[in-house]
Amino acid sequence: VLRLPNLRQRKYHPYSLTDLYYFANLVKLIQFGIKKPFTEVIKANIGDAHAMGQRPITFLRQVVALCTYPNLLDSPSFPEDAKKRARRILQGCGGNSLGSYTASQGINCIREDVASYIERRDGGVPADPDNIYLTTGASDGISAILKILISGDGKSRTGVMIPIPQYPLYSAAISELDAIQVNYYLDEENCWALNVNELRRALNEAKAYCNPKVLCIINPGNPTGQVQSRKCIEDVIHFAWEEKLFLLADEVYQDNVYSEGCQFHSFKKILYEMGPEYYNNVELASFHSTSKGYMGECGYRGGYMEVINLHPEIKGQLVKLLSVRLCPPVSGQAAMDIVVNPPVPGEESYAQFIKEKESVLNNLAKKAKLTEDMFNKIPGVHCNPLQGAMYAFPRIFIPSKAIEEAKAHKMAPDMFYCMKLLEETGICVVPGSGFGQREGTYHFRMTILPPVEKLKILLEKVKDFHIKFLEKYA
Amino acid sequence: VLRLPNLRQRKYHPYSLTDLYYFANLVKLIQFGIKKPFTEVIKANIGDAHAMGQRPITFLRQVVALCTYPNLLDSPSFPEDAKKRARRILQGCGGNSLGSYTASQGINCIREDVASYIERRDGGVPADPDNIYLTTGASDGISAILKILISGDGKSRTGVMIPIPQYPLYSAAISELDAIQVNYYLDEENCWALNVNELRRALNEAKAYCNPKVLCIINPGNPTGQVQSRKCIEDVIHFAWEEKLFLLADEVYQDNVYSEGCQFHSFKKILYEMGPEYYNNVELASFHSTSKGYMGECGYRGGYMEVINLHPEIKGQLVKLLSVRLCPPVSGQAAMDIVVNPPVPGEESYAQFIKEKESVLNNLAKKAKLTEDMFNKIPGVHCNPLQGAMYAFPRIFIPSKAIEEAKAHKMAPDMFYCMKLLEETGICVVPGSGFGQREGTYHFRMTILPPVEKLKILLEKVKDFHIKFLEKYA
């Protein structure tokens, strides 16, 4: 008889990332089941650019291929600037091979390239390669830092402040580490802005039952797509300084800013510009990734984090923790190097690189506007501007009859809505309840990654579905 | 002022894997410090084949390069069998790109190849792709399974039985998960054999203070290099069946068997052959990796686990847990595919592949014998036969004067010994206390990966050092 170990109940978020796979299974069932009123499933549920047809950036793949099979370094069909980078990366590898372990913090020369990138990005604010840690995607870095910061002993549990709506990696990690999730709500009426008064409310209430130590920010926002203003970031930093909170800045969408008048400001840069009282005291970890931006290389599981003002003792613990997984995948480290060290003017590959990069980003900007406009034409749907990132998070009106039916099926109302949408149109999106939302409001997250023509059809289908849904449950 | 969050003390093993990096730092210090009596540091502390000069298997790298940069599929300089495999892998990827996320369990066609490999290896014992999980190296799989099996609630904590000496990933994971490490000792006098009476002793004693649920086996052994006999595996399985223990079989060195008369038997195969009463009831997870064998592709972080008889509810939890990290690195998945699906007779690349494979394995066999013989010629050193894996774990006599001096430095005696060895010869090995050993005995672990000529010099240096050490502390 199979025995069921008396499992500690793992309190993953009810519709966490994992539900991508429940959805995928559902999709399989649908495909092999009875005939459905659609011919194709469109997976708009996950930020998986290449799966939606985006082409890899040629230069990145050339460099990684050269590192993988160094015989190609003699091939005339690869450009010199790619070969130069590949040689440099291989020199950083034991035995000049991607197959060797690297230091658990990552290859030195790549960490140097990351530091140079950050300095360029932040207009000269210094960055120390010793503060850079290469990671297995951003998720790995976020989990590791949370693990180190959350202490389970003593009287009160650690509180971690996260935005609502949030990317569910945070709620899953907090729950797994047995910490307390402290919600602060983004202001939907005000384009999902982060308001410091709301931070203060959340913190003060939380102090009654936990010890809040960490403040997580996602900028540009996932799933909400807002881009924070400089003023807002200053306010948040001042608040973190005042309240002695460790700042976690999830900045993986830093290259994905579309709206006019919006600009990405890194927390690191603003922190520096606020002066030494802040810059020498506020603890900050910032995360980046190969998966988003214009590269979209999710499968390489590449990323880095920059951590400043970390207490040396904790830094020792962090390095120790990271070394248990030996090292991040080395081809992911190589891919990360190209994200931070792409071709520059004067190099052979520059023209093609810029063309490919701008094509991806211009397309995303176009689709962001298109999606906002189309959603706002649907009755009972409201969508804030998609200033950045790669998702729409429209608010949807769900009639009370539909809410009742959802309850009868023991489903959250927006889950019920998304399931119906999938069954009737083949479009796969994620219910807002997977990210958190103000009670009584309903949303879903949809990527803007499908090609423009497909996205238009998709949005038309959502519109038709929504109108019929309102009629049916009126 | 930098604040030190009141960290839960993380009880990693005192000389865990992480000490590789302390050693590396030490090496740096030595290199930049005063002149030392050696010109080169030899890192014999970690199973990092390519870093020690082993060449990658050409076919594996060709396939991964083709997957990375599919333009190469048109190149006449790549063989057709490599192209065929690359096309198949790319067809399993979203958008035909290594840059897409895969299912968190791994790409379907690669899991099918893994299942076929296991069936061939085990003489036809069936393997189900649905029981295969691709992982980020074997460590990731082991950590995930332990996380799922260890429950922290209730009156008694979960006990996990591990061999002593052991690979310190186990002790680190057990400690981090707040479980109880239950030591069973391998029999050094009997070539590090696993004795079921010792398992029973350990289990019975442990039952007084915890709830033992998991039994970990490393075969071929790390750091001890023994290869278990068929009889021994049968005994272990019977014991696990009797005591309702979940078996974790770390079989990453399954291709690394050298001694005559020794043969690798998988736990899965023996379990099957013991009949349905065992095969339908004993829960077993087995691990494999791209990092060891003859491929030595550590940097790709590729691996798989096969889990049988897992309760469906736990399986659901496992998939959920794995999906938090989205998916294993896709180039590592591709590398794993070639480990389990290399060229076969009749294919274009077969001859070169076999030549490369046998060269690596014959060399390792030669070095295993050489190392054993050389160590056993040193007075005060005893080394069991290196039947498999890629390490020697000699027992060393440390004079009581040296033990006293180590204590004065607050060091374990074998740590003291290894530090002296490093300082005086540039040879970096890991003290036995990092793996665990019977009290009052001392060992170190040394890889046999350096090229033969270098290995000979290294062993001569160890010999000279050891003799001087004995004299100095006589």
Look at residue A30 and tell me whether its pLDDT is greater than 70: no
Q: Is B320's CB within 8 Å of A18's CB?
A: yes
To test the contact with chain A by mutation, choose from B326, B428, B447 the residue with the greatest count of A C-beta atoms within 10 A, namely B326
Nearest CA in chain A to B22: A320
Architecture of the domain spanning B19-53+358-472: Alpha-Beta Complex (3.90)
The beta-carbon neighbor of B7 closest among A101, A151, A176 is: A151
Model pLDDT, residue B31: 52
- Packing angle between helix B80-91 and helix B330-340, nearest 10 degrees? 130
Chain B residue numbers touching A331 (CB-CB < 8 A): 64, 68, 299-300, 329, 331-332
- What does B66-104 look like in DSSP terms, one character per residue? HHH-GGGGG-TTS-HHHHHHHHHHHHTSGGG-TTS---T
Residue extents of the structural domains in chain B: 19-53+358-472, 88-340
Q: Is B326's CB within 8 Å of A301's CB?
A: yes
Total count of residues recorded for chain A: 474
Q: Is B68's CB within 8 Å of A51's CB?
A: no
Which residue is associated with the tokens 């014959």?
B362
Residue A304 CA to residue A121 CA, distance in Å, equals 15
- The strands making up A180-185's β-sheet, listed across from edge to edge, are A132-135, A303-308, A284-289, A246-250, A211-218, A158-164, A180-185
Q: Match domain A101-340 to its CATH number in 3.40.640.10, 3.30.930.10, 2.30.31.70, 2.40.30.330.
A: 3.40.640.10
pLDDT tens digits for range B238-291: 999 999 999 999 999 999 999 999 999 999 999 999 999 999 999 999 999 999
Instruction: Give mean pLDDT, residues A305-311.
Output: 95
The 3-state DSSP class for residue A61 equals helix
Examine domains B19-53+358-472 and B88-340 and report if their fold is the same. Answer: no
In a structure prediction context, what are the per-residue pLDDT tens digits for chain B, which is 474 residues long? Answer: 345 444 444 443 334 444 444 455 555 555 555 566 777 888 888 899 999 999 999 999 999 999 999 999 999 999 999 999 999 999 999 999 999 999 999 999 999 999 999 999 999 999 999 999 999 999 999 999 999 888 755 667 899 999 999 998 898 889 888 899 999 999 999 999 999 999 999 999 999 999 999 999 999 999 999 999 999 999 999 999 999 999 999 999 999 999 999 999 999 999 999 999 999 999 999 999 999 999 999 999 999 999 999 988 888 888 888 888 889 999 999 999 999 999 999 999 999 999 999 999 999 999 999 999 999 999 999 999 999 999 999 999 999 999 999 999 889 999 999 999 998 998 999 999 989 999 999 999 999 999 999 999 999 999 999 999 999 998
- For residue B346, the tally of other CB atoms under 10 A from its CB is 7
CATH no. of A19-53+354-472: 3.90.1150.10
The beta-carbon neighbor of B5 closest among A68, A140, A314 is: A314
Q: Which of B240, B262, B255 is nearest to B358 (CA)?
A: B255
Look at residue A179 and tell me whether its pLDDT is greater than 80: yes
How many residue contacts between A and B have a Cβ separation below 8 Å? 266
Sign of CA pseudo-dihedral A362, A367, A368, A369: positive
CATH no. of B88-340: 3.40.640.10
Model pLDDT, residue A168: 86
The answer to ipTM > 0.90 is: yes
Model pLDDT, residue A27: 54
The tokens for B176 are: 């981090």
Instruction: Give mean pLDDT, residues A115-144.
Output: 96
Instruction: Please name the helix (run of DSSP H) or strand (run of DSSP E) that holds residue A53, with its range, or none.
Output: none
